[in-house]
Structure 1
Amino acid sequence: MFWTKKVVIGDGERGLVYRNRRFQQILLPGVHRLSVFGGVPQVSVHNVANGAAYAGNDQDSLLEALGTQLGPHFVLANVGAQQVGLLLRNGRIDEVLPPGSRRLYWQGAVATEVQLLPLEDEPRVPTAVLHRLGQLGVLPRVATLSTVPSESVGLLFIDGTLRRALGAGLHAFWNFNGNVSVERVELRARSLDVAGQELLSRDKVTLRVNLAATVQVVDPVLAHRTLSQADEFVYRQLQFGLRQAIATRSLDELLADKAALDGEIASHVRAAIDGHGVQLLGVGIKDVILPGEMKEILNGVVLAEKQAQASVIRRREEANATRSQLNTAKLIEDNPVLMRLKELEALEKVTEKIDKLTVFGGLDGVLKQLVTMK
C-alpha cells in the first residue's frame, strides 16, 4: 500500500526504526508494515547473532529512549573506573572490558551477560579467571604475566613502587590502571669469583690472587631496598677485604697460613653486608700466583732446604748402621757359635750363585778352608 512501508527482519537480526531522525521502536524478526504518515520511517537493520556489540553511533540516545525497555533487547556493560568487565556469552568469557567502558550488546539466541570485577590496590587476576582467559588467548594483552620458579621469589612493582614479594608459581595482574612488573630474585646459594687481583704484600712482593666466595640472598625485599646490585656490592667488599688482608702480611706469612687469611676476609665482608639481606656462606683463596723471578727464588730456597734435610737424614742413617755393625761384631767376638753361623750363611750366599761346584778333600775341607774368617 502507498501509505505503508514493508520491512522484513530476518532471524538473527533486529531493526531500529527512526522517524524524523528520532528513534521510535525495535523490530523483531518477521514482516512489518510501517505507516508513512508523520514522516517516512528509516529502518536500520543490525546483526544480533552471537550477542554482537551495537555498532551505531547513537548509543547514549538509544539508552535514554529505551529506558526500562532496554533489558529485553540489550545488555549494558557499564564498567567503572576501578573495575574490569568480563563479557560472557553462554557462560564463557569472550571479551575483557577495560575500566571506564560503556557498551551495548544485543540480546539474541546467545545468552550474553557482563561480570564486573573490582580493581583493588593490587590488581591480581583471580585464579579461576586466569585459566579461562588463557584459553581465550587474550591474557598477554590485558594482563602482566610472570612465572616465578621454585627456589626464587618475585618482587612486585606497581608504578615503580615495590609492593611485596611473590612466591613460586604463575602470577597475573591487570595492566589497566598502572604499570605492573615482577623482578625475579634467586634464593639459592651462588658463587662469586674474584680473579686476577694484583696486590702488594707487606714486604713489597707483587702477587696475583684468585678468590672464591659463596653468597645467598636471605631477604630479597631488604636487599632491593638497600642495595642497587647485591652481587656487585659483595664483589667490591671481597676486593676490599682481600686487599686489606694481603697488605698486612709478608709473603712467608701468606704462604704459611691461608686459613687465617680466609677468616679475616670473611669477617670484613660479613660486617660490611650485615643488614642488607645478603649472607656470606664461605670464602677461600684459590690461587696465589707469584712473579717469575720470585718463583725461581722460592724454588731454590725449597730445593736447598730439602737437600739439607736429606743430608741430615743420610748421616743419621749411616750412624745408625755403623752402630748396628759394631754391636754385631761384639756379639760375634764373644760367641764362637754365632761366628760359625755367620760363616755358614756366607757359604750359602756364595753357593747360590754357583751353577756347578767340585769339592776336593771332602766337606770338612770346604767348611774349614773355603770359609775362614780371620
Structure 2
Amino acid sequence: MLKKVTIQADQRGLLFHKGSYVKKLMPGTYNYFSWSQSTVVVMNIAKPFDVEGKDLQLFLHDEDLARELNIVRVQDHEYVLRYEDGQFVQLLKPGIYAFWNILRKHTFIHTDTRQAELSAEVDRSILPKLTAYVQAFEIASNESGFLFYDHVLQREISPGKYYFWKGPVSVMVKKIDLRQQQMDLIGQEIMTEDKVTLRLNFVCQYKIVNPLRALEMKSFDEQIHIQLQLMLREYVGTLKLDDLLKRKEDIASFILSRMHEKSEEFGVQFLGAGVKDVILPGEMKEILNTVLMAEKKAQANLITRREETASTRSLLNTAKLMDENQTLFRLKELEFLEKICEKVGSISLTGGGDLLERLSSLIGERKPASKS
C-alpha cells in the first residue's frame, strides 16, 4: 500500500529515513510504501527555514539545499536587521538563522552593539518596532548634553534626539539647562554688627555658560547657594541695623561683584541679584514703629506750626490793607454779610424806613471822617 506526498510550487520537501535527513525534494508528487521508514517534512518557502526538533547544522551539508537558503550567523555582540524585498521584517538576536531565497530577496544589516550609538545605515523609521532593543535620549534646544558609556564621559552632544542599543554598553546622558535660572535664599538668619538678628530673603539670577565645568562640580546648585550665604553674612555682619536699612540696595551690588569673581570657577554668568525682604524680630519692629511714629508726629507738628504762621501773616497783611483802604474794608463787610445771609432762612423788619438804610445800619455804616 502506498502513501502519497504532494509538494506545491511554493514548497520544498525534506526527506528523512529513520529520522536522518536524506535530501531535498522539489515540487511534485511522491509515493512511498506505507511500511517504509521514510518521512517527508513539507516546508513553506515563504517562511523561515526551521525544522522542529532538528538543528540547522544537520542540513547545511546538503549543497543543493544550501543554494536555496540564506544562512545568517549573528554573533553575541550583534543584532541583525532582516529585510524582505527592501522592507524591514524583524531583528535577529545572536544565533544561526536560515531563510529561503527563492520567492523573496533577503538583505541583512549587521550592527555591533559594542558601538552603542545606532549607525546612520539604520533607518529611523523602523525604530518604533525596535523599542525593546533601542533607547532614546532627547536634548532640548535650551540644553547641552553629555554622553557617558559605562560612566565614562565620551563627548558633549548638541540639541537633538539620539538612539542607542540596549546592549553590553551602559549608556547615560546628563543634561545641563542653559536658560537663565533663579536661586532664592529664603529666611537667612544673619546678625548685624550691633547684635540684631534679622532674616533676609535674597534672590540671584544666573546663566550657565560652561556646562562642562558645571557638570564637574558635585551639588552645583548647593555650592552656589553656600557662596551666596557666606557673602551675605560677610556684608551684613559689618553693618549696624540703621546702616543696613539705609544701604539695603548696596547689598545686591556687593554680592554681584563678589560673585563675578567666581564666574570662571562655576562656569556661570551672574546676571543680577537683590534683597526681596528684610524681616526684623517682633521687639525690634515695635521699637522701629515707635521711632517712626514719633518722627512723623514731629513732622506733622512742624507742618502745623508753619501753616499757622503763614495764616497769621496773611491775616496781618489783610488787616493792614483794609486799614489803609476804606473801599476794601466795605467790600469785606459786604462779603461777610453775604455769608450771613446764606445761613439765614428769612429776615423780618419792623417799623418804617427804607430797606437799604436798615441793612446799612446792620453792618454799621461808617460816617466819613470830618475834615478839620
Bin for the TM-score computed over the shorter chain: 0.7 to 0.9
Distance 1:50 1:68, change over 3 A: closer
Distance 1:110 1:251, change over 3 A: same
**Is 1:172 paired with 2:163?**
yes
Distance in structure 1 (CA, Å) of the matches to 2:133 and 2:299 = 80
Distance 1:54 1:207, change over 3 A: farther
Distance 1:215 1:11, change over 3 A: farther
Tell me the CA shift for residue 294 of structure 1: 0.7
**Is 1:245 paired with 2:238?**
no
The match for 2:328 is 338
Tell me the CA shift for residue 107 of structure 1: 2.9
The match for 2:134 is 143
Tell me the CA shift for residue 213 of structure 1: 2.2
Specify which of 76, 79, 86 is matched with residue 81 of structure 2: 86
Question: What is the identity, as a one-letter code, of the residue corresponding to 1:27?
Answer: L
Distance in structure 1 (CA, Å) of the matches to 2:340 and 2:241 = 60
Conserved 8 A contact 2:199-2:279 = yes
Tell me the CA shift for residue 120 of structure 1: 8.2
Tell me the CA shift for residue 349 of structure 1: 0.9
**Is 1:123 paired with 2:117?**
yes
Conserved 8 A contact 1:75-1:105 = yes
Distance in structure 2 (CA, Å) of the matches to 1:348 and 1:215 = 73
Specify which of 227, 242, 254 is matched with residue 217 of structure 2: 227
Distance in structure 2 (CA, Å) of the matches to 1:240 and 1:24 = 87
Q: How many residue pairs were aligned?
A: 362
The match for 2:178 is 187
**Per the alignment, in what secondary structure is the counterpart of residue 249 of structure 1?**
coil
Tell me the CA shift for residue 149 of structure 1: 3.5
Distance in structure 2 (CA, Å) of the matches to 1:326 and 1:157 = 93
**Is 1:77 paired with 2:72?**
yes
Conserved 8 A contact 1:82-1:118 = yes
Query: Normalization by structure 2: what TM-score?
Result: 0.83
CA deviation string 1:137-184 (max 9, x = no partner) = 2x2211111233342333322221222333444321123241122233
Conserved 8 A contact 2:118-2:165 = yes
**Map 1:53-72 → 2, pairs under 5 A:** 58-60=55-57, 62-63=59-60, 65-66=61-62, 70-72=66-68
Conserved 8 A contact 1:51-1:110 = no
Distance in structure 1 (CA, Å) of the matches to 2:45 and 2:355 = 140
Conserved 8 A contact 2:77-2:114 = yes
Conserved 8 A contact 1:51-1:111 = no
Tell me the CA shift for residue 238 of structure 1: 2.0
Which stretches in structure 1 are left out of the alignment for 5+ residues?
A: none
**Per the alignment, in what secondary structure is the counterpart of residue 51 of structure 1?**
coil
The match for 1:132 is 126
The match for 1:114 is 108
**Which of the pair is proportionally richer in helix?**
1
Tell me the CA shift for residue 101 of structure 1: 4.9
Distance in structure 2 (CA, Å) of the matches to 1:197 and 1:7 = 92
**Is 1:280 paired with 2:270?**
yes
Which stretches in structure 2 are left out of the alignment for 5+ residues?
A: 368-372
Query: Normalization by structure 1: what TM-score?
Result: 0.83
Tell me the CA shift for residue 112 of structure 1: 2.5
**Is 1:15 paired with 2:13?**
yes
Tell me the CA shift for residue 299 of structure 1: 0.5
Conserved 8 A contact 1:343-1:372 = no
Distance 1:207 1:77, change over 3 A: same
Conserved 8 A contact 1:210-1:286 = yes
Specify which of 245, 251, 256 is matched with residue 261 of structure 1: 251
The match for 1:301 is 291
Specify which of 251, 260, 283 is matched with residue 270 of structure 1: 260
Tell me the CA shift for residue 323 of structure 1: 1.4
Distance in structure 2 (CA, Å) of the matches to 1:350 and 1:203 = 64
Conserved 8 A contact 1:48-1:106 = yes
Distance 1:55 1:180, change over 3 A: farther
**Per the alignment, in what secondary structure is the counterpart of residue 50 of structure 1?**
coil
Distance 1:108 1:181, change over 3 A: farther
Specify which of 91, 96, 120 is matched with residue 91 of structure 2: 96
Distance in structure 1 (CA, Å) of the matches to 2:46 and 2:255 = 75
Conserved 8 A contact 1:216-1:280 = yes
